[in-house]
A and B are shown apart, each in its own frame.
Chain A
Amino acid sequence: MARQQGWFALILALAIAAGALLASFPLQLGLDLRGGSQLTLQVLPSGRVKTVEKEQLEAVKDVLERRINGLGVAESTLQTVGNDQLVLQLPGEQDPSRAAKVLGTTALLEFRVQKAGTEAEMQGLLKLKRQVDAVLALRKPKAPAADNSTDQPVEAKPSLSAEDLAKALTSLGLGVPPGASETDQLELLLKEVNRRVVALFEPSSLTGKDLVSAGRQQDQSANGWDVTLAFNREGGEKFATLTQSIAGTGRLLGIVLDGRSISEASVGPEFKAAGIAGGSASISGRFTADEARDLEVQLRGGSLPLPVKVIEVRSIGPSLGAENVRTSLVAALSGLALVAVFMVVVYRLPGVVSVLALALYSLFNLGVYSLIPVTLSLPGIAGFILSIGMAVDANVLIFERIKEELRAGNSLIRSIDTGFSLAFSSILDGHVTGLISCIALFTLGTGLVKGFAVTLAIGLVLSLFTALTCTRALLRLLMSYPSLRRSSYFLPLAQLPPAST
């Protein structure tokens, strides 16, 4: 008897502990339950790096973390997954497309000097570039303003006639792919012009690494934004030498971002003597406010050591998340209620005990979720709901055994004890096979699948404990009251053997 009371005290203590845990560490809800976005980034090997190593992944993560902080998104988390993936979670109603754009670019900034003797070619290319840019700018769909029925390009004012376009294309040695629209041809042309412009510059030793900070300001005409750069001491010296070498020559300084020339600047003859000193510069690339801010964030965070690609975006609105919480709560509670009714109707007194044990089981589960902590997601809740069913299975196996022993004419207490010990073998097998599935799911699955495997596994382990300990201790406790010690509380009288002891 003392032993049973000891068990009972332990169960009570655990229940209080679980309650206290839940009160002090609230459950963590996944993005599908509270709303938010999740981006998965794949780090790609490039150049000499054939496989992504741990240190490189960490280096990429550091840069991305600085960029995220620069963006000022609240409560975001960035985690490495596996060998070459990073997962960014943005809770709440934050636009994932902005983050995807800012995080996805390498942001390798280079300062290049125009090769000598290419002035004429550069002039021609830049003129063509401005022309094509202007034409394309007019054709760009203005998404929010456009009327949905008319998507025809607006009459282009600064136009490039078809012949001029064809001439420009052939002069650059470009063949026109069949069926390409005029916009396609223009983009093809622009791409080639940009490539040639970059080719006319030669790399210098001054790169984004020599920056200490970056900022932005409105340009003089107040039409666009400039990005300002501040170099460290070494960078400032390099910049001065670089500008001195081309001052007054008509050769240009190119600012190249990720292999794309974003700005070409001339350096006036007044810098012939010492170059542009002071360790700062600005890029006037006619940026919009957002573009300038994103570039600033990227430059400040540094360039990525390896390119990354956004391979998954999941976003869920907050009200959808709340809806998910509501439906899964209703599902879990209705499942519990159905099982409870079934157990009480079929098993009578032990049924009531199993419902109590089930309530304890649910409490323990939630306690463990907040202890570990487990971030609850929709599949995680499904795992919990399924584990309710499996936890009750153990009780069914035990109670059926007890009934059988009673029918065979054994005494009540004896039947209960044999019931527990004989059912143990199949209960254990069931739980072990279940755990094997969970381990396979956890080690090989992805985020969503893992959530399911974790809650189901916790449920299986706990149900071994509650089915074998809680149910037993409660049942034994009740049996210490003689008024409850009646076989008819376990089985309809008709099924009992007449000579019941």
Chain B
Amino acid sequence: MTESPTPRFRISQHKRLAWWGSGLACLLSVVGLLVSWLSPGIGAPLKPGLDFTGGTQIQLERQCVLSACGSITVDQIQAGLVTLPLPAKAKEQAPSLTSAKVQLLDGGQTLLLRLPVLEADQSQAVIAGIDRLAGPLKTTGTSVNTIGPTLGSQLLQGSLVSLLVSFAAIALYITFRYDRVFAFLAIVALAHDVIITCGLFAWLGIFFGIEVDSLFAVSLITVAGYSVTDTVVVFDRIREQKKALAQLSLIEQVDVAVDATLTRSLYTSLTTLLPLLGLIFFGGASLFWFAVALAVGIGVGSWSSIGVAPTLLPVLSRR
């Protein structure tokens, strides 16, 4: 292995494209987060879901097949909810249901209601009310989630803390295993992947009302771990061949390393994406956006480990 290998693919020739692409994606993401923050309907960088805001979510399945029980519209149900009397404790007032959001799934077979925080008997009253409007309902197909506002803020706090702690721990481990420039770049790549994943969900929140929950925070942490793994494979190779390729410039060394690890970078991402595709297509609604966030993060992570972190290495090492 003494002759210097000639890489088929030179990443250094494409670095401008890589930097522009990544820079643009990061910019769009930050803009998305800001737009989401400034928009009156959301008021946060990402649209917080039930987990963080607190509230009650009720999912109901209708017993009859669609043709038999007739169609029902979102407006009908919303109107029914507003006039629905709710039981309340003597000293408290029942929450108003005017802010309720109704969604029809499976072509109207399944109803999804998003309501303010309800007491257990109040949600029972809502279910009974819907039963009269759109019933009969399948009792075994009902799901009720109530997250109190205190728990919501606890969950949000817990998610943020675990995000920060895991990022810091990963950064620490990488600094310990590699020299400082490598560690810094691995963390830049990590930030790049996390920002773009968040940015995408900010835009999804703005245009399609997609919300983030505690599973989204989990996906970010997993993406962070994965992104570093991916970047490390390339850096490991640069470190390993440093002696053998000492006569080459750092830019050329990076080109050789990226070329040699290109297939495995793509394949490792692909083998992780394949099971996630299984989750996205067959895993059902509750894990759909979780799997999407993971898939996006892993895709972007693969990109940053090939196009961003290695091409920045010569730039930083020169100084």
Interface of A with B (CB < 8 Å)? Answer: 32, 35, 37, 40, 42, 93, 95-101, 140-141, 143-144, 146, 148, 151, 184, 187, 190-191, 309-320, 323-324, 327-328, 330-336, 338-339, 342-343, 346, 378-379, 382, 385-386, 388-390, 392-393, 396-397, 400, 404, 408, 422, 425-426, 429-430, 432-434, 436-437, 439-441, 443-446, 448-449, 452-453, 456
Contact = CB atoms under 8 A, between A and B. Distances in A.
B120 A444 contact: no
B175 interface: no
Contacts of A314: 143-146
Q: DSSP majority for the A interface?
A: helix
A397 B264 contact: yes
A429 B232 contact: yes
Given A320-B143, A331-B278, 17 more contacts: A93-B139, A310-B119, A310-B120, A311-B148, A314-B146, A334-B282, A338-B278, A342-B274, A382-B287, A385-B276, A386-B222, A400-B267, A433-B173, A436-B169, A439-B166, A441-B162, A443-B162
Nearest to B224: A437
Contacts of B229: 393, 426, 429-430, 433-434
B268 interface: yes
A97 B56 CA distance: 13
B275 interface: yes
Interface string B104-123: 00000000000000011101
**5 pairs of A and B residues whose beta carbons are closest in the complex:** A335-B275, A335-B278, A97-B120, A389-B272, A311-B148
A37 B58 CA distance: 13
Contacts of B129: 143, 148
A233 to B, nearest CB: 36
Contacts of A315: 142-145
A434 B226 contact: yes
Interface in B251-292: 260-261, 263-264, 267-268, 270-279, 281-284, 286-287, 290-291
Nearest to A447: B214
A143 B125 contact: yes
Contacts of A143: 85, 87, 125, 128-129
Contacts of A333: 278
Contacts of A99: 120
A389 B275 contact: yes
Given A311-B150, A328-B284, A334-B281, A319 B140 contact: yes
A404 to B, nearest CB: 7
A436 B173 contact: yes
A122 to B, nearest CB: 20
B203 to A, nearest CB: 24
B283 A328 contact: yes
A407 to B, nearest CB: 10
Contacts of A93: 139-140
A96 B122 CA distance: 12
A339 B274 CA distance: 6
Contact of B140 (A317, A378, A386): A317
B268 A396 contact: yes
Contacts of B162: 440-441, 443-445, 449
B133 interface: yes
B51 to A, nearest CB: 9
B83 interface: yes
Contacts of A190: 90
A433 B170 contact: yes
A378 B285 CA distance: 11
20 contacts: A97-B120, A141-B85, A143-B128, A310-B119, A311-B150, A319-B61, A331-B282, A385-B278, A386-B276, A393-B268, A396-B268, A400-B263, A426-B232, A430-B233, A432-B173, A441-B218, A445-B214, A446-B158, A448-B214, A452-B215
B218 A379 contact: yes
B124 interface: yes
B83 to A, nearest CB: 5
B309 to A, nearest CB: 14
Q: DSSP majority for the B interface?
A: helix
Contacts of B221: 437, 440-441
Contacts of B155: 446
B138 A444 contact: no
Contacts of B150: 42, 311
B38 interface: no
Contacts of A396: 264, 267-268, 271
Contacts of A323: 284
A388 B275 contact: yes
Contacts of B173: 432-433, 436
Contact of B214 (A187, A318, A330, A449): A449
Interface in B1-31: 1
Given A328-B283, A434-B229, A320 B83 contact: no
B275 A336 contact: yes
A436 B214 contact: no
A412 B271 CA distance: 25
B158 to A, nearest CB: 5
A187 B90 contact: yes
B64 interface: no
Contact of B120 (A96, A346, A422): A96
A320 B141 contact: yes
B166 A316 contact: no
Contact of A101 (B1, B90, B121, B268): B121
Contact of A312 (B125, B143, B151, B270): B151
B147 interface: yes
B275 A385 contact: yes
B80 interface: yes
A327 B151 CA distance: 29
A320 B140 contact: yes
A315 B124 CA distance: 12
B114 to A, nearest CB: 15
A310 B123 CA distance: 14
A146 B273 CA distance: 52
A320 B274 contact: no
B275 A339 contact: yes
B294 interface: yes
B96 interface: no
Contacts of B120: 96-101, 310, 313
Contact of B278 (A101, A317, A332): A332
B275 A426 contact: no
B228 interface: yes
Contacts of A331: 278-279, 281-284, 287
Contacts of A148: 80, 83-84, 129, 132-133
A382 B268 contact: no
A385 B161 CA distance: 26
